[in-house]
Amino acid sequence: MIIVMKPGAAEQNIRSVVDYIEKHGLFAHLSRGEEVTIIGIVGDKTKLSTENLSIYKDVDRIMPVTESYKLANKKFHPEATVVKVGSTSIGTDNLTIMAGPCAVETEEQLMTIARAVKKSGATILRGGAYKPRTSPYSFQGLEEEGLRYMQTASRETGLATICEVVSLDAIEAAVKYVDMIQIGARNMQNFILLKEAGRSGLPVLLKRGLSATIEEWLNAAEYIMSEGNENVVLCERGIRTFETATRNTLDLSAVPVMKEKTHLPIIVDPSHSTGASRYVSSMAKAAVACGADGLMIEVHNDPAHALSDGPQSLTFEQFDGLTKELRPFCNVVGRTF
């Protein structure tokens, strides 16, 4: 932590800052430059609320020199993390493809979709049993019954499974039935849920919040990891901007940025970000090209009658076409699926 004083800061104001630091059992290292005086803080910074120093007179700014996240930080954990999920792993040379319906509707529907996506190359079945919907009057999911169907589908097809959780009750239920849990964009800073996800023992897919910075996203991962659970996978799913031609703006630059900052795997969801099935294929290819470890894609047996997110869901045929198109890109980047 570095405190930069304003040009021409009064000596007594510099002294006040130093006193504040020392009163908290830390050491202040002064450096008097030509233009400004800089104060480095040495010691355990968790002992003081450094942001308050901005109130002190003549303080210009406070600059952290280390990131606030530790466990997710590549600096302290240089080798890439591989997350095991049921019968498969994320973060290897495989391209992980998670596919399935936005919402689990019936057992038959889910089984049909599970078989189709497996055939085309998916290794993880996605399916929503608890749906966080903008309006309270929209379909909210089958809840535990939906999770049971996921388990059945997994047993029959061998696919690993992932479900979004929205509450502690949902986590408790998910532990019994599925291989991985997902924290959705709207809950990325639901810190209670993050901690509980950390304690669940299950690997966690953490979607980026709609207006979350990359640093906040990594701090959300830190919440999960600080409970002893290092099996976290990040998922870029679009951020909110002024553009309305797509539902959100897919921030693919987050892929190389994350590869630099963290050892956690990162996957991309081209379905939710674009909100339109006709753009999914292009963005899926771009994601693979820029280094994503996997994809999450919505697939439905009958998009026109889907209970949720039909417009962005691929049909079986479209999904199969997409996976065929992805293979040569995988060859180029050295991945298989």
Least spacing, CB of residue 68 vs a second copy, in Å: 5
Instruction: Give yes or no for a contact between 284 and 301, defined as CB atoms under 8 angstroms apart.
Output: no
Q: Going residue by residue from 137 to 156, which x/- string records binding to a second copy, judged by CB under 8 A?
A: x-x-----------------
In whole angstroms, give the CA distance from residue 100 to residue 97: 10
Least spacing, CB of residue 157 vs a second copy, in Å: 26
User: Which residues does 278 contact at the CB level (< 8 Å), separation at least 6?
Assistant: none
58 conformational bin, left if phi > 0, alpha if psi -120 to 50, beta if neither:
left
Whats the size of the chain, residue-wise?
337
Q: Kindly state the tokens that stand for 183.
A: 């924290």
**Residues from 290 through 329 that contact a second copy (CB under 8 A):** 290-291, 303-311, 328-329
Residue 247 backbone phi and psi in degrees, to 5: -60, -45
3-state secondary structure of 165: coil
**Residues from 61 through 90 that contact a second copy (CB under 8 A):** 61, 63, 65-66, 68-69
Residue 13 interacting with a second copy (CB under 8 A) = no
* Number of residues forming the site for a second copy (CB under 8 A): 101
Q: Which of 74, 132, 144, 320 binds a second copy (CB under 8 A)?
A: 132
**Residues from 107 through 126 that contact a second copy (CB under 8 A):** none
Q: Which of 85, 202, 229, 279 binds a second copy (CB under 8 A)?
A: 279
Least spacing, CB of residue 320 vs a second copy, in Å: 18
Stretch that binds a second copy, among 30-38, 77-85, 89-97, 116-124 (CB under 8 A): 30-38
In whole angstroms, give the CA distance from residue 317 to residue 30: 66
Q: Which of 249, 318, 320, 321 binds a second copy (CB under 8 A)?
A: 249
Residue 105 CB-half CA count within 13 A:
19
